[in-house]
Copies of this chain bind each other. A is one copy, B any other.
């Protein structure tokens, strides 16, 4: 396509800064290399074949079977579906494996193991599994030291539901701040996964795969001894949540939403723009006691942060920008039609509101439109 200037683009649109994306990808690759583990990027944030290719990704992680199907169609065939499998999805998973995808599934209960073994046998299609370990009390998984772990492994059938190993995700890292706390959580994540694998091996399971990861722990782990692969996704884009945790700066955030001033309420110091929660999502996850960016931080068209401005309100297609310090913006600086960019709280949530990335080159022109997939 011909390069387009931002001034030509109807708003709201999702912008992806290619230079920042590349730097973020390189940073995580260097981390994985330094830690001596394979990187299995999680595509749940980007949901884009173009981004996956840019990442040079071989093996990938996905959050839905539709993602698996989408990436498989583009030639990615080593895929981990990192959400506990619902029995109703087992035939779909089997079809993907039959089509040549080396899909690995996840579970954390005897009930799920029994369901999977019954279905794989009935369909004549083996379904390999990782057992999910709960390393942080955040969500799913069994404790690494639990009897449950060995019971699940015993119920998996080597012929039909081969056990490939263990995986864990320290999502609780999103509630921490600072290198020390994150390094401690990374060690907790590593230790839980390695302990679980060792306990499985002690009773005769090979359990070759030990898979860990979240962006904050991946970027702060001091060592990953015993781990075989690292998963992370949001690091490709970064966002205000990651900046609040301290694993990136605002200048690393590769995603922004391009918007246009469509009105003002000068008496209140409000600037009304055409990016509301539909374009930004309802996620306000970056709010902290000492810093609340509302629905997003406001930048000029070139991406420079406009100090003190924040999106204080959002309706479906209207955003309300105000000042955090209650000093109203200078109306003359925000004429109707001015372009602004909003840095998102949560890249996964904001990107999911859009159907494509408008890709910005180093000169600030849009040189490509990369589609993304959504839905189930």
Chain B neighbourhood of A112, CB < 8 A: 262-263, 336
State whether the Cβ of A157 lies closer than 8 Å to any Cβ in chain B: no
A318–B83 touching, CB < 8 Å: yes
B260–A86 touching, CB < 8 Å: yes
Knowing A11-B376, A336-B112, the reply to whether A317 touches B83 (Cβ < 8 A) is yes
A134 to B316, CA, bound (A): 17
* Pick from B7, B63, B284: contact of A88, CB under 8 Å: B7
Copies per complex of this chain: 2
B115–A278 touching, CB < 8 Å: no
A83–B278 touching, CB < 8 Å: no
Knowing A139-B320, A355-B375, the reply to whether A335 touches B263 (Cβ < 8 A) is no
Chain B neighbourhood of A283, CB < 8 A: 277, 282
A277 to B277, CA, bound (A): 14
Question: Which of A8, A283, A348, A353 has most chain B Cβ within 10 Å?
Answer: A353
CB distance from A103 to the nearest CB of B (A): 15
State whether the Cβ of A272 lies closer than 8 Å to any Cβ in chain B: yes
A106 to B24, CA, bound (A): 41
Chain B neighbourhood of A7, CB < 8 A: 88
Knowing A262-B112, A335-B111, the reply to whether A64 touches B349 (Cβ < 8 A) is no
Chain B neighbourhood of A264, CB < 8 A: 109
State whether the Cβ of A242 lies closer than 8 Å to any Cβ in chain B: no
B12–A376 touching, CB < 8 Å: yes
Knowing A109-B263, A282-B282, A336-B109, the reply to whether A318 touches B86 (Cβ < 8 A) is no
B13–A111 touching, CB < 8 Å: no
State whether the Cβ of A2 lies closer than 8 Å to any Cβ in chain B: no
A277–B86 touching, CB < 8 Å: no
A320 to B139, CA, bound (A): 8
Cβ < 8 Å to B, chain A residues 1-47: 7-13, 44
* Given A11-B86, A281-B281, 11 further pairs, Cβ under 8 A: A10-B86, A13-B376, A86-B336, A87-B336, A111-B335, A112-B262, A112-B336, A140-B265, A277-B349, A281-B282, A282-B283
Q: List 7 A-B contacts (CB under 8 A).
A: A63-B278, A63-B316, A83-B274, A83-B317, A139-B272, A139-B320, A355-B375
